[in-house]
């Protein structure tokens, strides 16, 4: 009986020692993680999941006005003309569900998180019917035919197409892409800052944009160098 109790005490003591060792190891791991600090890649991955759940981001919107005219002539004598002024708003969206882990590239050397963005998508236009204005007279042709309805339908179709064309122009697309980059960089930076990681840069770029580190520097010739080169060439010709 005494031998059994002794063995039980030994097993209990061993279990307590092993448990204490595990606690020490766990504390050591926790302290090591605290000293190392949070992992930027882990924080970025969490931010990515949150952005994917958001689904779509609208970083920019713009309002445009289209002015179109249509004319119809019949029998060479009768003519009708209509003009439509149609304002509309276009949204510039990012489909965040298209972002995945492959679009994140962590550069430990420069402490930079690079994000490759999906293309900007146009939504709309949402036409402002209350602000629309139609002008023109059909005269006799409009009175005896459906020319006015045909011209109005043609104008509406052309105006919507024109609004989208304006929205796809270089200036609004550049503004939308700038806004999208800023929004995505902020969405990644804020969680990093909240985790106490202040020495990280986020660089969001579209797939058709080059790496800023490989972009060609300005090597244009200065005025002084150009004049010196001109004098050298004149001297070589004996002028």
Average pLDDT over residues 94-103: 91
Give me the pLDDT at residue 198, please.
81
* Residue 128, pLDDT above cutoff 60: yes
Give me the pLDDT at residue 168, please.
94
Average pLDDT over residues 50-68: 90
* Residue 61, pLDDT above cutoff 90: yes
Which pTM value belongs to this model? 0.66
Q: What is the DSSP string of 39-97?
A: -HHHHHHHHHHHHHHH-EEEEEEEEEEEEEEEEEEETTTEEEEEEEEEEEEEEEEEEGG
Give me the pLDDT at residue 59, please.
92
Q: Where are the domains of the chain?
A: 39-212
Q: How many CB atoms lie within 10 A of CB 170?
A: 7
Helix (H, G, I), strand (E, B) or coil at 108: coil
pLDDT band at 232 (very low <50, low <70, confident <90, very high): low
180: Cα separation from own chain's centroid: 3
Average pLDDT over residues 175-193: 91
Radius of gyration of the chain (CA): 34
* Neighbouring-strand partners of residue 117: 206
pLDDT in tens, 152-171: 888 889 999 999 999 999 99
Average pLDDT over residues 161-190: 93
pLDDT in tens, 193-223: 888 888 888 999 998 886 544 433 333 444 4
Judge whether 96 and 55 are in contact, CB under 8 Å.
yes
* Residue 83, pLDDT above cutoff 80: yes
Average pLDDT over residues 129-148: 65
Give me the pLDDT at residue 137, please.
63
Average pLDDT over residues 23-31: 43
Give me the pLDDT at residue 215, please.
39
Residues 6+ apart with CB under 8 A from 40: 106, 111, 113, 192, 197, 200
pLDDT band at 7 (very low <50, low <70, confident <90, very high): very low
pLDDT band at 94 (very low <50, low <70, confident <90, very high): very high
């Amino acid at each position: 009986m005494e031998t059994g109790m002794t063995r039980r005490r030994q097993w209990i003591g061993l279990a307590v020692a092993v448990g204490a060792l595990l606690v020490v190891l766990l504390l050591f791991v926790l302290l090591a993680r605290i000293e190392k600090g949070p992992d930027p890649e882990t924080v970025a991955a969490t931010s990515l999941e949150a952005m994917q759940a958001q689904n779509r981001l609208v970083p920019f919107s713009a309002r445009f006005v289209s002015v179109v005219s249509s004319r119809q002539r019949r029998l060479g004598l009768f003519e009708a003309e209509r003009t439509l002024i149609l304002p509309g708003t276009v949204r510039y969206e990012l489909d965040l569900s298209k972002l995945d882990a492959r679009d994140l590239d962590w550069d430990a050397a420069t402490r930079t998180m690079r994000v490759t963005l999906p293309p900007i998508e146009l939504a709309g236009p949402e036409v402002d019917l209350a602000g629309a204005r139609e002008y023109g007279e059909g005269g006799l042709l409009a009175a005896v035919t459906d020319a006015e309805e045909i011209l109005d339908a043609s104008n509406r179709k052309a105006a919507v197409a024109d609004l989208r064309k304006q929205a796809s122009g270089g200036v609004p697309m550049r503004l939308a892409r700038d806004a999208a980059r800023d929004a995505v960089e902020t969405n990644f930076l804020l969680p990093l800052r909240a985790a106490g990681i202040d020495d990280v840069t986020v660089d969001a770029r579209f797939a058709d944009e080059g790496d800023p580190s490989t972009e060609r520097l300005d090597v244009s010739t200065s005025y002084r160098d150009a004049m010196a080169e001109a004098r050298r060439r004149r001297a070589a010709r004996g002028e």
